[in-house]
């Protein structure tokens, strides 16, 4: 990289200098279950202040971590594994064998694995959606691999960017309790959360089933709390 390029990315290199790359790789190599970003931070960036740091500092620590994670994807791909990067459920999965669908469902953190049409990577059901997802993920990967994007956000925008994610990290127990009340796994999408609530509401709403008034109140409270935690 040229001297001008180094000067331009000086802030990125300052944060990156704290990265414990070997520790991060070793942790990921033995990862069996999805993990929260804060856990990866403790391993890879022990210098990061996750309690009293500003939103801009949080964003920059987050950026350096994701830069490292996306940079490690080729390492795992070369070993027949997929490193899925997400702030709530980063995980490493075995890639499907040739001829099996490579659509990765973010909610279940699993590949489809159904048979593909000749020469394709996705099954008939996931064909179009798989292509769209691949483009979205490529876009996000390139964003984090470009050091210039560490300084691309102003402080106020960094706060908006990071607020929802870190709000969850600071209320993990409440988040997990509410999900358990609704019978949902961690990292569930907003769309599935809403669908699950509608299903439970149809079953438990007092106007339909007066016996379950208390249960509906419990589910409704959990649902509203989750929406608040997700900044919806």
**Within a domain: residue 205?**
yes
Shared domain for 31 and 103, answered yes or no, is yes
Residue 165 lies in a domain: no
162 domain-assigned: no
Residue 144 within a domain: yes
pLDDT at 161: 66
Q: Is 44 helix (H, G, I), strand (E, B) or coil?
A: helix
Phi, psi dihedrals of residue 91, rounded to the nearest 5°: -155, 165
**Count of domains for the chain:** 2
Convert the pLDDT of each residue in 85-143 to its tens digit: 988 889 999 999 999 999 888 878 889 999 997 778 889 888 877 666 676 677 788 88
Residue 153: DSSP 8-state: S
Q: Strands, E, within the chain: which ranges?
A: 81-84, 91-94, 104-105, 110-111
The CATH number assigned to the domain holding 212 equals 1.10.287.110
Quick: pLDDT tens for 183-200: 987 777 788 888 888 888
Domain boundary pick from 98, 123, 155: 155
For residues 30 and 127, membership in a common domain is answered with yes
Would you call 100 helix, strand, or coil by DSSP? Answer: strand
18 and 117 co-located in one domain: yes
* Same domain for 145 and 196: no
pLDDT value for 64: 96
Helix (H, G, I), strand (E, B) or coil at 184: coil
Q: Which of 126, 155, 184 is the last residue of a domain?
A: 155
The answer on 176 and 119 residing in a single domain is no
Q: What is the pLDDT of residue 212?
A: 61
Do 189 and 147 reside in the same domain of the chain? no
15-46 pLDDT tens trace: 999 999 999 999 999 998 889 888 999 999 99
Residue 4: predicted pLDDT: 47
* Range of the structural domain that residue 190 is part of: 171-229
């Amino acid at each position: 990289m040229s001297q001008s390029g180094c000067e331009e990315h000086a802030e990125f290199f300052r944060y990156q200098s704290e990265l414990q790359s070997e520790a991060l790789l070793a942790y990921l190599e033995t990862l069996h279950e999805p993990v929260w970003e804060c856990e990866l931070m403790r391993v890879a960036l022990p210098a990061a202040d996750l309690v009293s740091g500003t939103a801009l500092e949080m964003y920059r620590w987050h950026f350096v971590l994701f830069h490292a994670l996306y940079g490690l994807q080729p390492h795992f791909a070369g070993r027949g594994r997929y490193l899925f990067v997400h702030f709530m459920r980063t995980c490493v999965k075995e890639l499907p064998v040739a001829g099996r669908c490579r659509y990765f469902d973010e909610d279940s953190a699993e590949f489809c694995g159904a048979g593909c049409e000749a020469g394709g990577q996705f099954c008939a059901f996931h064909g179009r959606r798989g292509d769209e997802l691949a483009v979205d993920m490529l876009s996000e990967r390139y964003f984090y691999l470009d050091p210039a994007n560490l300084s691309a956000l102003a402080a106020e925008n960094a706060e908006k960017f990071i607020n929802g994610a870190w709000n969850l990290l600071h209320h993990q127990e409440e988040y997990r309790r509410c999900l358990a009340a609704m019978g949902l796994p961690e990292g569930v999408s907003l769309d599935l959360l809403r669908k699950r609530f509608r299903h439970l509401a149809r079953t438990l709403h007092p106007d339909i089933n007066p016996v379950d008034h208390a249960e509906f109140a419990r589910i409704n409270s959990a649902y509203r709390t989750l929406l608040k935690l997700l900044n919806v």
